[in-house]
Amino acid sequence: MSLIRAWREHLKLSQREVAESVGISQPAYAKMEAKDSHPCVATLKKIAAAMGVEWDQLQVE
pLDDT for 28: 96
Buried b (16+ CB within 10 A) or exposed e, 50-61: bbebebeebeee
pLDDT for 35: 87
Q: Which domains does the chain have, with CATH numbers?
A: 3-58 (1.10.260.40)
Beta strand extents in 1-61 (DSSP E only):
none
Band of pLDDT at residue 61, cut at 50, 70 and 90: low
pTM, two decimals, is 0.89
pLDDT in tens, 9-54: 999 999 999 999 999 999 999 999 998 888 999 999 999 999 999 9
pLDDT for 31: 95
Q: Is the pLDDT of residue 6 over 80?
A: yes
